[in-house]
Structure 1
Amino acid sequence: MPLRTSLLDPFTFTGAQQDSAFQMTRAAGATYLRLVVPWSEVAPATRPSDFVPTDPASPYYSWAWLDNTVTEIEANGLTPILDVTSAPGWALAWRGSGQTAGAPKASELGAFATALARRYDGFHGEPPVRVYQVWNEPNLSLDLSPVNTATTYRGMVNAVATAVHGVNRSDLVVAGGLDPFENLAKTFISQAPLAFMRSFLCLSGGKHPHATCKTKIQLDAWSHHPYTFGGPFGKATRTDDISLGDLPKMRALLRTAVKLHRIASSHAVQFWVTEFGWDTNPPRRHAVPLSLEARWTSEALYQMWHSGVSLATWYLLQDQRSPSPYQSGLFFHSKSLKQARAKPMRTAFRFPFVAYLRKGTVRIWGRDATSAKALVTITRRHGTHGVWRSVARIRTNRWGIFVATLRLKATTTDWFRATAPGSGKSLAFSLAVPKNKRYGPWGN
């Protein structure tokens, strides 16, 4: 199974430095890029009487910024994931207030999705787009309300899928992108992701789920945002919350939905992560130290792949200026993005590699930076100042993934590293497991 990597950075991907951002994204080994597309910024603020929302050539649509952005993304060798969010006021079925976002009319969302897919079908002068995501964190009242039912979101996804597949059946529609934690605060609420997913898929709870409605869901990939406390193997404290260590539960539910024919897709249904990260220290106090974050980045990518995830999206390319809570970038903040200084985790994101001590063996996993077939050399160093010596050579699969069990004597004082043509060297990975500290995703 592949592990494609992607980045999401709404602050730099649509700003004046977006071309540099796309170049740096590709150089970091990513092949996908999640781009937030606010529907309200493309559609007219008020609906004209002669507006045809399914027609991308309508003069009332404002495509220029999106056309330019998609063109630049693809010129840099990246595949865009267009994530549709934020309905214009005239398209709302239910108006929110305060900390509730309201909900769009599924029919209007489907009409916009038709125009969007036609605009980027590859036959109307713009580059083709093949991946569309429906909303962001629909289990969170800040993004979609009412949040205590997934029926609204099910209608939205089916409307978009019908529209997109009506233009090109090979295009992918991504659903989910859920907030990982239940929250019942006064300011906003979020439904537990697994509970929301069951409701969305019309599946009962328990060990032997069964269908609870006849409506099938049209989707090609299910995604999640598994923010995690306590490292890459950390699990959520509540049963229906989903962090990194809980991803197998979500995958199992997805596979059950496929088995019970709850999902209609002409593709093998994929499991994706479309947002994830940890803030670092520096710059944010109480966040994950840089060296530990680098290790956790490789381990998080391994944990995702091991849990059946085939695409992993990191949130952000560069930190936002302090005191912003968004300090999870691969680069420190800089006024000039080209001058931004890379964190060690950037290497781990580009060329993830892990090594774990077992009885008489060392288990290794990695993905070379080219995501293609390569011959990887594994080297070992005794202690922090020893000499690196080759211990194995491993061929990757066609997606650049390599997995092996090395039969050799090793101790917790040993370090391992991978090297591959076109990828350079991975970060050194210690067999000594660091003490588990409960650092939160946002320095909490």
Structure 2
Amino acid sequence: MRSLVRPRLLAALTLTFAAALPAAAPAAVTQESMLQDDNSLIFNTPSGTAKTLDAIAELGIDRIRVSIFWATVAPKSTSQERPAFNATNPAAYPNGSWDRYDQVVRLAKARGIAINFNITSPAPLWATGDDSPREDITNTWKPDTSEFADFVQAVGTRYSGTYGAPGGSFPNPAPPPLCELASNCPAPEPQPPVLEDGPLPRVDYYTIWNEPNQPGWLTPQWEARPDGQPGFVEAAPRIYRGLVDAAYRGLAASGHGQDTFLVGETAPKGLNVQGTTRAIKPLRFLRQVYCLDDAMQPLRGAEAAARDCPQDDAGTAAFADAHPGLFAATGYAHHPYELSASPYKRPTDPDYVTIANLPKLTLALRNTFKVYGRPNGLPLYLTEFGWNTNPPNPLGVSLSQQAAYLNQSQYIAQNNPSVRVITQFLLRDDAPRPGRNGVTVGYGATFQTGLQYLNGKRKPSFQAYQLSLHMPSATVKRGGTLLVWGLVRPASKLGRQQVSIQQRRANGSYKTLRRVKTNPGRGILSTRVKVTTSGRLRLAWRDPRNKVVVHSRTIPVIAKR
């Protein structure tokens, strides 16, 4: 459905940002690696999904982020009239509606890959408001929180670890209209592989609603002031607050009350104009969700009433107990995209948050929680991230820049103790959509942030993502030492790995300067090497799974006299 593409489009057209971030003190040695690619994972044949998961396992990914689109599973999702069914019972949903999710959960478990379910729009029309002003936003318009709670409970029940859905051969039904998301929707597969039988694996990691500060996923973003005064008031933060409350109830009712529960899922930017479909900036959105004004003080009077917030001290004191999901959350999810600029470029807007100024979001969360007597704030989960490349996207960065920026961003995140996960968005590029945003020949409506091209051919970033290399400085006095940081991503499952630090000689061959072992946690190495001549440095690692030697990208170093 077209609305699903819009948030990506808005992000692609409005993201131009970053902020310099110094190397932080204690590194997050337990930080996970996550990847999302719904086209390749849930809008795919069983064998296609399995092939995608094999590549993800090769990369060393710990977890995949999977979108559960409410309208894809719900019965009669294009009808305004609610069908008669028990929405909390997964067995009451249409035959085959869960198959794509059962498939990916079973296949991922077989490869030791964990799941993050992001439960999100589009909503079935019968669960949305009936006063939408435009047809193109009806499936994101004022979603019913009670219906959402029931749907989340159904999801939690099905993936509780005890639900006895059969395995066997999945029928791979014809893709629903939502498969428009996947511009390369697969043809039905004649003989899908047989999957394990028995209870479905448990999913214990949930995020609520994708990019609620973007109109492609939630509307209205703004609405006319209820007091009759001219202008607009933020609507999406109030709606999202209700969706979090609903999801928290639904997960608790299905036995997931102690599982990972992330709120936020915010996009990195917004707009300076206000209106029904005008995106809200992430820090403004955060403040409004927690009923705070721009000075980080509780909203009061008419401004509070307009946003369904407490109007006095007593109401503020009861706010946390009234909205437990906002305060019992495991963490705050955010999408700190750059897409076409360096991860060290500083954002110009004080309410934007990119990979470069993450401490600003951490501070905002800490200050928010402090208002309500909860001193610690929330850790950060970066649940979408990446760079468009040229080729194929004419507005993307070069292939070498994508590889470098991913490595630099990994270093930034790894050295930020607030960050628990960073997620690569797309294994494989989206296809362009001719006729959409003609200035970019159809690419403006899709993402080319993959580690592979659409045809499956690997970009240089595939290997650079698997074996990351970053050097905070590449210039040194001859005979001095340089800090070399690296990440062997598969080491999180393989254990400590030996890595060679190599320098290219004048004849093109490489000399090993030093051999080091990664740490016992996530495959990090951080060491200093002596440099006597200028040249290019790289890492070399022999993958014990297939005996193939993997090389990182190379970085030119300068040894000055």
TM-score bucket (shorter structure): 0.7 to 0.9
Kept in 1: contact 2:34–2:63 (CA 8 A): yes
Distance in 1 between the 2:72 and 2:205 partners? Answer: 20
Structure 1 portions without partners, runs of 5+: 335-339, 434-444
Distance in 1 between the 2:288 and 2:533 partners? Answer: 48
Distance in 2 between the 1:237 and 1:122 partners? Answer: 46
How far residue 226 of structure 1 moved from its aligned partner, in angstroms, is 1.3
Distance in 1 between the 2:94 and 2:518 partners? Answer: 53
Q: 2:290 aligns with which of 185, 190, 201?
A: 201
The structure with more strand, counted as a fraction of residues: 1
Kept in 1: contact 2:129–2:144 (CA 8 A): yes
Per the alignment, residue 405 of structure 2 pairs with: 296
Q: 1:419 and 2:541 equivalent?
A: yes
Per the alignment, residue 86 of structure 2 pairs with: 52
Per the alignment, residue 272 of structure 1 pairs with: 381
How far residue 422 of structure 1 moved from its aligned partner, in angstroms, is 3.8
- Residue identity matched to 1:90: W
Q: 1:215 and 2:215 equivalent?
A: no
Distance in 2 between the 1:226 and 1:114 partners? Answer: 30
Kept in 2: contact 1:355–1:431 (CA 8 A): no
Q: 1:403 and 2:526 equivalent?
A: yes
How far residue 378 of structure 1 moved from its aligned partner, in angstroms, is 4.1
Q: 1:165 and 2:252 equivalent?
A: yes
Per the alignment, residue 8 of structure 1 pairs with: 36
- Residue identity matched to 1:81: N
Distance in 2 between the 1:187 and 1:153 partners? Answer: 15
Q: 2:336 aligns with which of 209, 213, 226?
A: 226
Per the alignment, residue 172 of structure 2 pairs with: none
Q: 1:41 and 2:72 equivalent?
A: yes
SS of the residue corresponding to residue 169 of structure 1 reads coil
Distance in 2 between the 1:285 and 1:333 partners? Answer: 15
Kept in 2: contact 1:281–1:290 (CA 8 A): yes
Mean Cα displacement is larger for which, 179-188 or 215-224?
Answer: 179-188
Distance in 2 between the 1:194 and 1:93 partners? Answer: 27
Calculate the TM-score normalised by the size of structure 1.
0.86
Per the alignment, residue 424 of structure 2 pairs with: 314
- Residue identity matched to 2:161: G
Kept in 1: contact 2:498–2:517 (CA 8 A): yes
**Structure label with greater radius of gyration:** 2
Per the alignment, residue 30 of structure 1 pairs with: 61
Per the alignment, residue 13 of structure 2 pairs with: none
Q: 1:331 and 2:452 equivalent?
A: yes
Kept in 2: contact 1:8–1:316 (CA 8 A): yes
Map 1:24-173; keep pairs closer than 5 Å: 24-45=55-76, 46=79, 50-60=84-94, 62-85=97-120, 86-93=122-129, 95-96=131-132, 97=134, 100=137, 101-125=140-164, 126-147=200-221, 148-149=234-235, 150-166=237-253, 167-173=255-261
- Residue identity matched to 2:124: P
- Residue identity matched to 2:461: M
How far residue 140 of structure 1 moved from its aligned partner, in angstroms, is 0.8
Per the alignment, residue 436 of structure 1 pairs with: none
Kept in 2: contact 1:355–1:362 (CA 8 A): yes
RMSD value over aligned CA atoms?
A: 2.9
SS of the residue corresponding to residue 234 of structure 1 reads coil
Kept in 2: contact 1:355–1:429 (CA 8 A): no
Distance 1:386 1:20, change over 3 A: closer
SS of the residue corresponding to residue 356 of structure 1 reads coil
Kept in 2: contact 1:411–1:431 (CA 8 A): no
Distance in 1 between the 2:64 and 2:216 partners? Answer: 23
- Residue identity matched to 1:78: I
Distance 1:383 1:195, change over 3 A: farther
Kept in 1: contact 2:291–2:298 (CA 8 A): yes
How far residue 245 of structure 1 moved from its aligned partner, in angstroms, is 0.7
SS of the residue corresponding to residue 302 of structure 1 reads helix
SS of the residue corresponding to residue 109 of structure 2 reads helix
Q: 1:19 aligns with which of 45, 50, 69?
A: 50
How far residue 139 of structure 1 moved from its aligned partner, in angstroms, is 0.4
Q: 1:365 aligns with which of 485, 498, 507?
A: 485
Distance in 2 between the 1:49 and 1:12 partners? Answer: 31
Distance 1:297 1:155, change over 3 A: same
Distance in 2 between the 1:349 and 1:26 partners? Answer: 13
Per the alignment, residue 442 of structure 1 pairs with: none
- Residue identity matched to 1:220: T
Mean Cα displacement is larger for which, 113-122 or 307-316?
Answer: 307-316
Kept in 1: contact 2:215–2:279 (CA 8 A): yes
- Residue identity matched to 1:6: M
Distance in 1 between the 2:54 and 2:101 partners? Answer: 18
How far residue 91 of structure 1 moved from its aligned partner, in angstroms, is 1.2
Kept in 2: contact 1:165–1:171 (CA 8 A): no
CA deviations over 1:115-149 (Å, ceiling 9, x no partner) = 11011100112211111221111001121122224
How far residue 162 of structure 1 moved from its aligned partner, in angstroms, is 2.3
Distance in 2 between the 1:414 and 1:59 partners? Answer: 58
- Residue identity matched to 1:235: R
Structure 2 portions without partners, runs of 5+: 1-27, 165-199, 222-233, 300-315, 321-325, 433-440
Mean Cα displacement is larger for which, 363-372 or 56-65?
Answer: 56-65
Distance in 2 between the 1:283 and 1:196 partners? Answer: 33
Distance in 2 between the 1:389 and 1:24 partners? Answer: 29
Distance in 2 between the 1:269 and 1:236 partners? Answer: 22
- Residue identity matched to 1:136: N
- Residue identity matched to 2:159: Y
Q: 2:354 aligns with which of 216, 224, 243?
A: 243
SS of the residue corresponding to residue 333 of structure 1 reads coil
SS of the residue corresponding to residue 190 of structure 1 reads coil
- Residue identity matched to 2:143: P
Kept in 1: contact 2:82–2:126 (CA 8 A): no
How far residue 432 of structure 1 moved from its aligned partner, in angstroms, is 4.8
CA deviations over 1:89-117 (Å, ceiling 9, x no partner) = 11114654256431211111111111110
The structure with more helix, counted as a fraction of residues: 2
How far residue 361 of structure 1 moved from its aligned partner, in angstroms, is 3.5
How far residue 168 of structure 1 moved from its aligned partner, in angstroms, is 2.3
Distance in 2 between the 1:345 and 1:189 partners? Answer: 34
Distance 1:198 1:77, change over 3 A: same
SS of the residue corresponding to residue 472 of structure 2 reads strand
Distance 1:328 1:414, change over 3 A: same
How far residue 210 of structure 1 moved from its aligned partner, in angstroms, is 4.6
Structure having greater relative contact order (Cα 8 Å, sep ≥ 6): 2
